[in-house]
Amino acid sequence: MDTFKIIYTLLGGLGIFFFGMKQMSDALQQAAGDVITRVINSLTSNRILAVTVGVIVTMIVQSSSVTTVMVVGFVNAGLMQLTQAIGVILGSNIGTTITGWIISIKVGKYGLLFIGLGIFPSLFSKNNKIQNIGRVVFGVGMIFFGLQLMSGAFKPLRTNEEFLNMISYFSGNDYGSYLASILTGCLLTVIIQSSSAMLGITIALASTGVIGFNTAAALVLGENIGTTITAILASVGTSTNAKRAARAHAIFNILGVLIIFSILPMYLSFIEWLVPGVADQTLADGSKPNIAQHIAASHTFFNVTATLVFLPFLGVLAKLVTKITPEKEGEVKPALILVGEASEVLPATAIVQADSEVKKMKDILDRMQLVTLSYLEKGKTKDLVKVKDYEQITDNIQKEVTVFLGKVMEKPMSPDQSKHTQALIKIADEYESIADYLERIVSYKSKLKEDALKGKSLEEYDKFMTNIWDFFQLSTVGFFDAEKHDMDLVTRKSEELRIWANDMRDRHLDRVSKGEYEPISALTYSDMVVALRKIRAHGLNVAYTLEMLNKPGA
């Protein structure tokens, strides 16, 4: 096989491998999206639970880098404490080892069979679960087929003198060769941005007899360091705590590799003893039938052992990264929590982030309403300015959430995830509209003379506004506790408030006709009442959206 053919076969096999990993990961995410959301929401300060979450999520998404980027986003959002984040990161290192075992299975020649078995249900089944199962099988088939192509490309290299001379420095059984292999594994992983792909290449090289077990194991150690660069890049421009989480991942992996590196010959002998068969046993065709399992075992043992060793020292690691990454004086906390390129974020975790942000809008609206009441009673300019500032904040959040989720919706999603995403966009829009009408109320009031609206009409308006806000709390309660959502009660209260608004406006017109208020106040008062009616309407829309969201199978 000539050099050009080797290169394009290798690249083609790697491309198919990448595509298979993505197909399998996307299908698993759709099938287990609710599981990811539940395990994230179950996080407590319990470090063992945090590690377990990291294992489960990474096994589903098939990428420790994706999990770590997710963690950086959650820490930046304030949804996760630093010690929790470090626990999840440790768990992600264990979860990613499943990839090595999948790759090491000796079914490469059946890759096309898996592709054939998976393609038909994924394309033609009407059942969502069956579609996802088909896509998982199809993805696994593509992984095996890609590995087979890469192995075929590597086979001629084991007899190529130039290539063997080039890698001879990496093939020695000394610390110089080990260090060179570790650095190479790290560098290639940084370039490819996927430790799983590098692991596949390493196993393909070793299985075809191009490199030995010692070299492969050292490459895998380097890949463990290289994978941390993704999280460090994701932390650029985020909060100090998010940077700390990314650096904790790097420190954990680097320290683990340094410890194993110091005893690498003994470590390799232990893996050789632990796994049946001789790692470098070579068949007549030059292949090594046992080496893939040895590589997968070394990958797993390293990550599991390192996690168990570091687990009692999570607090120490958190203090270390806090010390080397201090808070910047005058640091401005990010107003929005949505971290990373939306197209690269898991739908399940994107929804958790956006959900948190929309709930923050609700908190802003509650504060905005109190300041609005204060302005109606006291007329202080600082309250007017504060309401306008709050309105601008809700505008920004609504735009950010809508754009972010719009991009996330371009990714494959389960029906429940799609429903949740659409509901969040709708609720954010309704909240932003409510903020607009609160801002209009203070603007209307600011245009009146100081004493133009007082007495009975103002008292009625304040009381009506308080009741409108009680209705808003009732309409949005299902966002925080689905069991408390009562659509019948919301509908009944909405109708009562609609009638109340009409009566209140009529009473004010009657007072104007009696000379108790200036005529100009009638128009402004009517506009202010209409603004509250609009808030009622938007609250009702939120309630209908939550009814759809919380209804099983809707």
Q: Is residue 498 over pLDDT 90?
A: no
**428, pLDDT greater than 90:** yes
Instruction: Say how far apart CA 444 and CA 417 lie, in whole Å.
Output: 41
Q: Phi and psi dihedrals of 71, rounded to 5?
A: -65, -40
* C-beta neighbour count of 1 within 10 angstroms: 13
Q: Residue 554 — pLDDT band, cuts 50, 70, 90?
A: very low
The pLDDT of residue 333 is above 60: no
Torsion, Cα of 532, 535, 540, 541 (10° steps): 150
Q: What is the mean pLDDT of residues 416-444?
A: 92
From CA 224, how far away is CA 246, in angstroms rounded?
14
Average pLDDT for 285-297: 86
Judged against a pLDDT cut of 80, whether residue 318 lies above it is answered with yes
CA 446 to CA 454: how far, in whole Å? Answer: 13
User: Which of 46, 38, 53, 62 is closest to 89 using CA atoms?
Assistant: 53
Under 8 Å CB-to-CB from 106, ≥6 apart: which residues? 289, 292
At CB < 8 A and 24+ separation, what contacts does 124-133 make? 128/30, 128/414, 128/415, 129/31, 132/27, 132/28, 132/30, 132/31, 133/27, 133/31
Among the ranges 146-150, 296-300, 334-338, 480-484, which has the highest mean pLDDT value? 296-300
How far lies 494's CA from each of 363, 434, 504, 505, 529, in Å?
A: 22, 15, 15, 17, 15
- Per-residue confidence band for 51, with pLDDT thresholds at 50, 70 and 90: confident
Of 151, 191, 194, nearest to 22 (Cα)? 194
- Tokens (6 digits) for 19: 């595509």
Flag whether pLDDT at 545 surpasses 90. yes
Closest CA to 506 of 443, 538, 448, 460: 460
Name the pTM for this structure. 0.66
Residue 167 is predicted with a pLDDT of 67
Which among 448-452, 472-476, 481-485 has the top mean pLDDT? 472-476
pLDDT at residue 429, as a whole number: 95
For the ranges 86-95, 334-343, 347-356, 434-443, the lowest mean pLDDT is seen at: 334-343
In the chain the domains, ranked by start, together with CATH numbers, are 3-324 (no CATH), 346-550 (1.20.58.220)
Residue 163, pLDDT above cutoff 80? no
**pLDDT at residue 334 in the model:** 45
- What pLDDT is recorded for position 354? 86
Nearest in space to 457 (alpha carbons), one of 529, 403, 389, 406: 529
- 3-class DSSP state for residue 96? coil
Q: Is the pLDDT of residue 339 over 50?
A: no
**Cα distance between residue 461 and residue 441, in whole Å:** 11
Identify the pLDDT of residue 425.
94
Please state the rounded mean pLDDT for residues 375-393. Answer: 88
When the pLDDT of each residue in the chain is averaged and rounded to a whole number, the result is 82
Which pairs count as long-range contacts for 460-463, CB under 8 Å and 24+ apart, including other chains?
A: 460/504, 460/507, 460/508, 461/376, 461/504, 461/525, 461/528, 461/529, 462/373, 462/376, 462/377
What is the tens place of the pLDDT at every residue in 111-131? 888 899 999 988 888 887 888
Evaluate if residue 155 carries a pLDDT over 60.
Answer: yes
What is the pLDDT at residue 147? 81
* Confidence check: pLDDT of 36 > 60: yes
Q: Which region among 56-70, 180-194, 237-251, 355-369 has the lowest average model confidence (pLDDT)?
A: 56-70
252 vs 412, higher pLDDT: 252
**According to the model, what pLDDT value does residue 342 have?**
52
pLDDT of the residue at 472: 94
- At 335 the pLDDT is 45
Residue 305 burial class via C-beta count within 10 angstroms: exposed 0-12, middle 13-18, buried 19 and up: middle
Q: How far is CA 397 from the centre of its chain?
A: 18
What average pLDDT does the segment 419-442 reach?
A: 93
Tell me, what's the pLDDT at 493?
92
What pLDDT digit, counting tens, does each position of 225-272 carry? Answer: 888 876 677 677 666 777 888 888 888 889 989 999 989 899 999 999
Q: Write down the pLDDT at residue 332.
A: 46
pLDDT tier for residue 166 given thresholds of 50, 70 and 90: low
Is pLDDT of 499 > 90? no
